[in-house]
Chains A and B, each alone.
Chain A
Amino acid sequence: MPHVLLIEDDTSVRDGMELVLRRHGHQVDAVGTGEAGLELLSRPRAGGIEIAVVDLMLPGIDGFEVCRRIRGRGQLPIIMLTSRGDDLDVVSGLEAGADDYVVKPITGRVLEARIRAALRRAGPVARTDTDDFAGLVIDRAGLSVTKHGAPVPLPPTELRLLLELSAAPGRVFSREQLLTSVWEHDFLGDSRLVDAAVGRLRAKLEDLPAKPRYIQTVRGFGYRFGPV
């Protein structure tokens, strides 16, 4: 069962979450500060941690900074924990690189579902061929993306989003569809997750993020890949 890193400063919440996660069979490293969490991740092979669940309100360095630093080091899936769900928090966290967010209080079942969804994004895919879109090469088996030969590291959610969109170039996907297929949220999920991921993708893929070629917005309907 996937190894979870839990960073949450409130003792009771941390204990409760750890309890639930363990009951679901996870191996859990639960710490109370961002520094401690980053320290655990700095062990070789990230100490075996496969996913991080990070609370935003932390003493010392806050959750955004932790997200950024984890993202800086690799493509570990990150789920944010917030008790406010305010616009600012969510958007900032998504821009910092989180794959998903949940608003406390949350049942263990939902948390488990989100963790699994995030991990699925990081896992193998159905098609195993390689597509070349005018210099953007997407290797579905190797789960890698290169642009003009240079590798583009993508976290699992962004990668999964790109794979989904590019699997049917020219087809329009609505945000709800993407939330369901990529994030596995219900249709009521926050479509800002999709927008933030698209934004991050564009920043990495597009020559001119203001005039996107690969991931295009279709106003009133959603996004589509190309036509390039």
Chain B
Amino acid sequence: MTPARAALICCVLALAATGCGIRPTGVTDGGTAPSGISQGIRIYFASDRGPRGVARPDVTVDQLNDVFKLLSSGPSPAERDEGLANVLPEADYSATAHRGHVTVTAPRFDVASPQDQGTGQLVCTLARAEVLLHGTRPDKVQVTIVGERGRAGPYQCQQFLVH
């Protein structure tokens, strides 16, 4: 083994050593994809973190007014355990939509302010229903509430969601 050959081998090995490290790869499979996006109606209840939406996947909503029944059913026991509650007063609500603008008539609605979780419940639920029913872009839906003292709004659901 001549000294020249030995040096050469040492150099080759040294080079090989520096070529290690994390190499890029091609695309590989990573397992099942996540899921859980809901496609259906989402109704909103009040919580100590503001209005929170929960899905009602097995419910089909044909018209806007369907949501009121869902709201008044209240949260499920599991949802109640999580601190969700319905703060909307029982009343005869009715809503109409025109080009993404929903007007809801809410008798007994004294004050409708953005701080009011009940308002939030109404706005967000109706907004979701509007998106589902009429395909309006979610951030384009506006909801006006006609209450006892007059009109409030138009509101957008984002206003009520606290993150």
Chains A and B share a contact (CB less than 8 Å):
no
